[in-house]
Copies of this chain bind each other. A is one copy, B any other.
């Protein structure tokens, strides 16, 4: 009986797994050198936890399940609710700022498309407890520290940055009622994702007043932070939000990543919970979906039953990023080469070959041998296929306690005493390493 994998999931054969590990290890290393600590939560949580932030509708985009006790659960579609729950649980004992990273496996019950799967990995970093735009800058720096570390340059990617605080202040200033903001954000978020006509149609449904709708559009096409005052006479809220953006760009310049960043008021982020700086990272040609995005969410912990503590963070998935890195030829997974492949000239030496292989492994070396006592040339070919750095050849000389060591790169071969062979090898079994 042959059963296929489920659509929208991936099988990671060793070559695919090497790429996945290379991406995830890169995320972790960048986060750690930026001072973040890794955490994780469970794969499933109570369904209602995911509805707090995203409303009941989210249930349709989730894989939900019911346990034997009739509890409604769901596979996590994002990490932030678990983060909020975990931080709230220990809010009094966790030293601040909390700088955490996570690389959760996430699930969305959507139709699979290019760059969008039903199961994927996502890099999350968050700084909790810092009410300073410097923290937003640090989070963006960390994302770019990884992205430029793998070789992406300012002509490959761009971080489009805006401010939810600015957008809210501006919309209120031109006459939109506070309670209509959340539904308007969802429309504005679609501006660059829809044909212009469709967007205009949707906007006019939300904002029938043509003059106001035009002002919104003008704002969303503003090219520079200093041009905002041309759209509308700033009030103190708009000024504060504008100054925050200016400060953010100053920090990004000082950090050496300013060339990757650009003000773009078209960045809204659909979710209601953002409260300040927001941004999305795109390939420069804008041919792909967003690589990632984030922003400030100062009310999230409170919404999850905790205290009101400022927070900022981002998320980058592995699917769009993987496509971009592949296109740019930047995927360079680390090869797990064998240190030694042990070959033997005839069946009589198989026992010696196995013993030697196991002794090498016990000493922390990557070693393997051939199960088949085939011709030496064939075993050497296997060694070559396995990308072994060196071959140990067990033959006639073994009777006089000697081994031939062949360097697979140079082809050079030398004869050494068995007793000397292990002298320089560390022994993790003895040291507990």
Contact = CB atoms under 8 A, between A and B. Distances in A.
A13 B86 contact: yes
Nearest to A45: B6
A39 interface: yes
Contacts of A429: 145, 148-149
B49 A3 contact: yes
A196 interface: no
Interface in A291-324: 303-306
Interface stretch (A214-222, A231-239, A273-281, A363-371): A363-371
Nearest to A26: B433
A371 B17 contact: no
A371 B44 contact: no
A5 interface: yes
B3 A255 contact: no
Given A6-B42, A68-B109, A354-B255, A37 B63 contact: no
Interface stretch (A127-135, A203-211, A413-421): A127-135
Contact of A73 (B6, B10, B34, B362): B6
Q: How many copies does the complex hold?
A: 2
Interface stretch (A87-95, A154-162, A175-183, A401-409): A87-95
A402 B394 CA distance: 59
Given A135-B371, A355-B255, A33 B365 contact: yes
Interface residues of A, number: 96
Interface string A62-94: 011101100101010000001001101110000
A12 B33 contact: no
Nearest to A369: B35
8 contacts: A6-B73, A9-B41, A17-B38, A21-B38, A32-B366, A145-B361, A149-B432, A254-B354
Interface of A: 1-6, 9-14, 17-18, 20-21, 32-35, 37-46, 48-49, 52, 63-65, 67-68, 71, 73, 75, 82, 85-86, 88-90, 95, 97, 99-100, 105, 107, 109, 119, 130, 132, 134-135, 141, 145, 148-151, 251, 254-256, 303-306, 330, 332, 336, 338, 351, 354-355, 358-359, 361-362, 364-368, 371, 385-386, 428-429, 432-433
